[in-house]
């Protein structure tokens, strides 16, 4: 990465995928369709879950293990306290769970 910043060298799509800077490689003109696939799944998540993933997980990873486990437990408790989460867990435990329908 440093050499890219110092030299201004550009990566092509294959290099970006190989180096972990890209997640998907699609044909020309297919980028928007591919980007919308995970976007729809993410939009279907609980907002609390999305918040935890974006804001809490990076902080958990940077802290000592004991504090990280505490933070993880607290975020899990908060995330599972929403009515939607409770219903999903109940459906899973009672065998009623189905694939989440896209909104």
Segments making up each domain of the chain, as ranges: 2-43, 46-93
pLDDT at 49: 85
pLDDT at 23: 94
Residues composing the chain: 103
Residue 19 phi, psi dihedral angles, 5° rounding: -85, 5
Q: In the 3-class helix/strand/coil scheme, how is the chain assigned residue by residue? A: CHHHHHHCCCCCHHHHHHCCCCCCCCCCCCHHHHHHHHHHHHHHCCHHHHHHHHHHHHHHHCCCHHHHHHHHHHHHHHHCCCHHHHHHHHHHHCCCCCCCCCC
The yes-or-no verdict on residue 30 having pLDDT over 90 is: yes
pLDDT at 17: 94
| pLDDT band at 63; cut points 50, 70, 90 | very high
* pTM for this entry: 0.61
Closest CA to 82 of 71, 90, 92, 70: 90
* CATH placement of domain 46-93: 1.10.12.10
Q: How far apart are CA 19 and CA 13, in angstroms?
A: 10
Q: Identify the residue with better confidence: 20 or 82.
A: 20
The yes-or-no verdict on residue 39 having pLDDT over 70 is: yes
pLDDT at 29: 95
């Amino acid at each position: 990465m440093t050499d890219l910043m110092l030299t201004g060298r550009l990566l092509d799509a294959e290099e970006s995928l190989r180096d972990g800077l890209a997640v998907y490689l699609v044909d020309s003109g297919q980028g928007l369709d591919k980007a919308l696939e995970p976007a729809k799944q993410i939009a279907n998540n609980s907002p609390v879950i999305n918040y935890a993933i974006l804001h809490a997980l990076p902080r958990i990873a940077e802290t000592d293990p004991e504090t990280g486990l505490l933070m993880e437990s607290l975020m899990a408790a908060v995330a599972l306290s929403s009515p939607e989460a409770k219903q999903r867990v109940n459906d899973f435990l009672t065998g009623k769970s189905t694939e989440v329908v896209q909104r």
